[in-house]
Structure 1
Amino acid sequence: MKDYLSDDPDDGCIRRIKQGDADAFEAVVYRFERPLRAWLATLSPPGVDADEIAQKSFIAAYTRIDEFEEGTNFGAWLFSIARWQLKTETTRLRRIADYHSRYAPDLLQKLHGEAEVEPEHLMTQVGHLKKCMASLSQDLACLLKWRYYDEISLEEMARLSERSVPAVKKQLWKLRRKLQQCLEQRMEGTIT
């Protein structure tokens, strides 16, 4: 890896990028694309797309370029970002696999027992859930969108919302609990 990092972009190139010259970043991508993808391919477990992680790493580096200290090793900084992107992705995949291995048998058993659930009942639940979601504040709706529609990592959500990762986790937990309670109350008819 050291060979790849010895030919860093000069400070002038980094300065131009920091000043908003997006074209200057093209030289950085050209310089590091192949080594970064090759390095990620050697570290990526099955199921992880090294090319996608490299792409996310370049995007993260570009959006966080102001955090880079000129005069330090840009290649090392970029590879560090890539390492964290890879770690985030493998954690996400591990979480999904763990969820499925833990809950799939229970869900299948539950679904088997509820095979006679009427579509009208499910549609009612969906309608109530939409109303619950519509009642959320803009901040909470944004967190919900980031996590479940955009599939943004907790670390990125923390950065975007200027909170710590534990604070984001706690907020998501409260949000899911609030939606569950709202849905249950609407299904019971205690709120409309």
Structure 2
Amino acid sequence: MAYSWDNRVDFIVRFLYDIDNNGILEKHDFECMALKMTLIEGKGEFSYGRYQENLHIMLSLWEEIAELADFNKDGIVTIAEFKEAVQRSCVGREYRDFPQAMKMFIDSHFKIVDLNDDGVIAADEFRYNCVTRIPVDNVNILDEAYQNLLNDDDRRRGGLTLSRYQELYAQFLGNPDENCPAVHLFGPLHAMD
């Protein structure tokens, strides 16, 4: 099922963390992610200071993931190891109870999606973020996923604030219910092979 907990965790690994698409997580993925985040935040412009901040966040995330999930201490984290670590550290927990580096990643990811830096992820920003990651052939599918995320407060505000994004991200990883609104956080998911 596309919105099962297993598939959502597979999605996180494959589309957010495994930058070189080799099926495993390693330090290099997080170094690449730091540069990617810096360039996306700068809309192509490179800021060395911002890069250093992103590199610190990404290497901290890698170290935390390796500590939690690299069970055989070989310097790589498999999808199975990652799932086991997420199961132990995220399922049934709220954002505030997540590992610190993961919270820093979630907050940094919000900044990437919030293109105009107004503190709210609007529909156009959500659409843009989705199509940079997944194949979509109909904008209505993206709009439906976005609307499924929103509660009444989100609609009044015109989108998702950081605190609401944190809540949804925590549910995406931590709530095994396939029908919770958070399953739509990254747009329409497809079943991973």
Shared fold (TM-score greater than 0.5)?
A: no
TM-score (norm: length of structure 1): 0.26
Higher relative contact order (CA 8 A, sep 6+): 2
Which has the greater radius of gyration?
1
TM-score scaled by length of structure 2: 0.26
